[in-house]
Structure 1
Amino acid sequence: MKSVIYACGSIIALAVATQGLAQNSSTVTQNGTGNSVDISQQNANTSIVTQVGDANTAQVVQQIGSGNTSTVTQDGDDQNVADVLQFGNSSTAQITQTGAARGDMATIFQNTSAADSDAAITQSGDGVAGDPASANIAIIDQSFGTGNSGTIAQSGTGNFATVFQSGNGVLSDNLADVIMGGVGNQVFVEQVVPGNSSLVVVGSDPTSTGNSASSFSASSDSISNIFQEGDSNTATVMQFGSNNESLIDQGFAGSSANNTADVSQSGTGNLSFVDQGFNAAATGNSATVNQTGGSNLSAIAQDGDTNSATVTQATDGNASFVTQSGTGNTISVNQ
């Protein structure tokens, strides 16, 4: 009898020790309309949620521990919502919303001071002419962390995407990628403290029109790249600090018309490059660059007719290069 008791005690002790070290795992699958799932996990966790249908809601909260993984997949046509909140380093979160995907919302928050975490959101609207706008919303918030990556990919019309990376006061090395295709989409990237980089691609063919891209950096040694294809697009870059780089390329694959590029940089040693138009059909584009501080460089290249370029550089030691091909173009440089 005594040996049986010892055996039981050993089993209980092993179970307790294993539970303390084990990773939690949750898998949920729901089919239909108006479903809801709420998952809360502690320690190093894995969560997989799959929902098929409309008006479904998924929330995943992973607390404490590093190496958390959350995957949410929603396949439907209307008003699905997914939220992932992760606390800890080296976490991975992915939200995918497919189908006609209208009025969907996806949010990933990875806690303050998180490091080496990855967040990705994919929303695929149909973008069929005459159909209602996709109007999907994607938000990634990686506050006060380093070495994080945030990626958003959207298709359809009337979508909104934003990535916020604030860093922790040192070289943060965060990366934000946003890729959008369609008409009337908006993207905003905000990165604070030095050493961050962002890549925004809005539209990949001439039918991608009326899109807006904005990038804001409030420190030094940051890089902003914006690529837009099609007509009537707007790109805005604001960089505060020194040794920042900005590239805006509108019409990189074909003709572009009536696009607007606006760059503002303060500090020293900043670089701005604006390229508008790919051939003679690129008309009515406008580029404005304002640089305050010394040793800055601005380069603008415009192809086509009736384009305008304006460069303003304050203080000394700056350089400006403007190239235009076509007729009826205007240039204004103030140094």
Structure 2
Amino acid sequence: MNLSRTPLAVAAALLFALPALADNSSTVNQTGTANSAATEQAISDNAKISVTQIGNGNQVGTADEAGAVQQLAFDSSIAVSQNGDKNQAWATQGLVFDTVSKLQQTGSDNAAETVQGYSINALGEVSQNGFRNIGYTVQDLAFDTQARVLQTGSDNRGAVEQSSVETTGAAQAYRAIGEYNTVKQVGEDNLGTIEQINLVDSGAAVSQTGSLNIAKVSQSDQNLEAGNGSWGEVLQTGNENSGTVTQSGNSTVGAYVEQVGDANTGEVTQQGNSNFTIGYVYQEGGNHGAIVAQNDNVRATGYIEQVGDGFAAVVNQTGSVLVTGQILQSGADSAGYVEQTNSFDANAQILQVGSANAATLVQTDNLHAAAYGEQRGTGNRGDIKQIGTESVNATTLQNGNGNTLEANQTGVVHASISIAQGSAWGETADLSSAIVNQTAGDDLLAEVRQTGLSQTSVIEQDGDITVASIAQSGTLNVALVTQTGGNNRASVSQIGTGGTANQATVSQSIGFYTASVTQNGAGNVATVTQH
């Protein structure tokens, strides 16, 4: 948004073109029930409206007509304080410069809304303490703004809505909460929402403490100015929380969801952002689920970190440039999934520390892609799929008992797979298996290293200029290499540590191939077939 070309510029010119203005001040104090107050100021300097009501069923205006109004004013402020139940307050400011509107309510079943339009350097705030309160802050056609809804209690509803606003809050990434347009709720069964449309340099944060909370931050059609960009944040502490941040059509955006508690769900969706995009979800506790989906972005990073039990994490990135998807899980019963499609320079990483973990890395139709998986614990399973991708590599490390891994590369060129089970940390990984399939590709490399008991390693390659290498240390291990194509090489090395045999089988067809089998120990069996 360019301020010099907006209707806001007309408002600013009109304000500064006015003759000397009078200082206006209006104060209303009411005690009792069912009172009403209305005050309006226009064409003022140092304009102040103050309304204080103590009791129940009081009103400052109505839903159809605001009770505290300021128009065409400099250095203006509205302060409404209501103490009691079933009170209502509506405030409106338009064509104002250096303006503050604060509505404060203490009690239950209250409602408050502050609206600011055609404003410069504006702050709108609704603060409520009690139960079943509703608070809204709305800003439209404004410059250099900040909006907040602060709620303490139960069954409250709060929302911030902004449209065609430039420079909202402080949008620098990772600023502390309170620097943004904010919805803050403390208590149970709360709902917080922030909507921002057609903004420049904006920040939005929803903070909830309690249970059964729902938070949503949505930012769209925002532009980059002053190097800050747009930032959306959800912070939740408690049980059964749900946090969602959606950002689309922006330039330089960031989203952060933090959930500490049980049964939380966090989701970050970012689409069509043109400069730098980051989506970060942190969850601590049990029964969590996190999804980060990024589509058609530039320099996109999706990161999920989970600490505790019973996790599930998904990072989905499509049609982006310079993308990174990362999942970090610490605990038991975890699951991780990263998918990258139609992207350039894609990087996928999963690290799992614990037991009974499952990890899947999928990369399809990318140019320059890398996948890395690491599992530390027992009962882990890992899958890697790379399809129709050029210049790719995959690396997997597994440590513990009962690990299994299957890696597939299909229709790839200049591809490599490296798998280590047990040996990476000097420990054994018994009863593990590694299966590698490389088909319909050229210039392929597959490496498997296993240390332990009863390991199984299978490498199947279909293409030209392929290399397969298997190294096993232990007993009762099985190695199988099958290569179809020309100019291929296979190498198997088995070092026995006991009296029971290892088995190695190499099969090569088409032509121009080399096979090497090395076995150390007693009763080993090796078979090489070339045709």
TM-score normalized by the length of structure 1: 0.85
Aligned to 1:107: 193
* CA distance in 2: counterparts of 1:303 and 1:227, whole angstroms: 16
Residue 14 (str. 1) matches residue 86 (str. 2): no
* CA distance in 1: counterparts of 2:350 and 2:340, whole angstroms: 13
Query: 1:327 is paired with a residue of what secondary structure?
Result: coil
* CA distance in 2: counterparts of 1:86 and 1:144, whole angstroms: 12
Equivalent residues in 2 for 1:1-335 (5 A)?
13-15=19-21, 16=43, 18=45, 19=73, 22-42=97-117, 43-44=119-120, 45-76=122-153, 78-87=154-163, 88-92=165-169, 93-98=181-186, 101-111=187-197, 113-125=198-210, 134-146=211-223, 147-168=229-250, 172-193=251-272, 194=274, 195-203=276-284, 208-219=285-296, 220-241=298-319, 242-251=321-330, 256-266=331-341, 267-277=343-353, 282-293=354-365, 294-315=367-388, 316-335=390-409
Report the AA paired with residue 319 of structure 1: N
Aligned to 2:466: none
* CA distance in 2: counterparts of 1:33 and 1:21, whole angstroms: 32
Report the AA paired with residue 109 of structure 1: E
Report the AA paired with residue 273 of structure 1: Q
Q: Which moved more, 1:80-89 or 1:303-312?
A: 80-89
Describe the superposition over 1:236-270 as per-residue Cα deviations: whole angstroms up to 9, x where unpaired. 0110023210110001xxxx111110111012320
Deviation of the 1:23 alpha carbon: 2.8
* CA distance in 1: counterparts of 2:289 and 2:200, whole angstroms: 30
Report the AA paired with residue 20 of structure 2: L
Higher relative contact order (CA 8 A, sep 6+): 1
CA contact (8 A) 2:125 2:137 kept: no
Aligned to 1:130: none
Query: 1:191 is paired with a residue of what secondary structure?
Result: strand
CA contact (8 A) 2:303 2:326 kept: yes
Deviation of the 1:41 alpha carbon: 1.4
* CA distance in 1: counterparts of 2:123 and 2:362, whole angstroms: 48
Describe the superposition over 1:31-55 as per-residue Cα deviations: whole angstroms up to 9, x where unpaired. 1111000211121321222111011
CA contact (8 A) 1:67 1:91 kept: yes
CA contact (8 A) 1:209 1:232 kept: yes
* CA distance in 2: counterparts of 1:331 and 1:36, whole angstroms: 57
* CA distance in 2: counterparts of 1:55 and 1:17, whole angstroms: 36
CA RMSD between the two structures: 1.5
* CA distance in 2: counterparts of 1:122 and 1:159, whole angstroms: 11
Report the AA paired with residue 166 of structure 2: N
TM-score normalized by the length of structure 2: 0.54
Q: Which moved more, 1:45-54 or 1:303-312?
A: 45-54
CA contact (8 A) 1:68 1:86 kept: no
Q: Which moved more, 1:51-60 or 1:25-34?
A: 25-34
Q: Which moved more, 1:189-198 or 1:223-232?
A: 189-198
* CA distance in 2: counterparts of 1:60 and 1:243, whole angstroms: 37
* CA distance in 1: counterparts of 2:257 and 2:347, whole angstroms: 22
Describe the superposition over 1:193-213 as per-residue Cα deviations: whole angstroms up to 9, x where unpaired. 24211111111xxxx011010
Query: 2:317 is paired with a residue of what secondary structure?
Result: strand
Larger radius of gyration: 2
* CA distance in 1: counterparts of 2:125 and 2:257, whole angstroms: 24
Describe the superposition over 1:58-89 as per-residue Cα deviations: whole angstroms up to 9, x where unpaired. 0111111211112221111x211101112201
CA contact (8 A) 1:140 1:163 kept: yes
- The structure with more strand, counted as a fraction of residues: 2
Aligned to 2:475: none
Report the AA paired with residue 162 of structure 1: T
Structure 1 unmatched runs, 5+ = 1-11, 126-133
Structure 2 unmatched runs, 5+ = 1-17, 22-42, 46-72, 74-94, 170-180, 224-228, 410-531
CA contact (8 A) 2:114 2:125 kept: no
Query: 2:396 is paired with a residue of what secondary structure?
Result: strand
CA contact (8 A) 2:116 2:138 kept: yes
> Runs in 1 of length 4+ with deviation above 6 angstroms?
none
Aligned to 1:8: none
Deviation of the 1:300 alpha carbon: 0.4
In the alignment of these two chains, the number of paired residues is: 297
Describe the superposition over 1:243-301 as per-residue Cα deviations: whole angstroms up to 9, x where unpaired. 210110001xxxx1111101110123200010001xxxx11100011101232100000
CA contact (8 A) 1:237 1:246 kept: yes
CA contact (8 A) 2:236 2:260 kept: yes
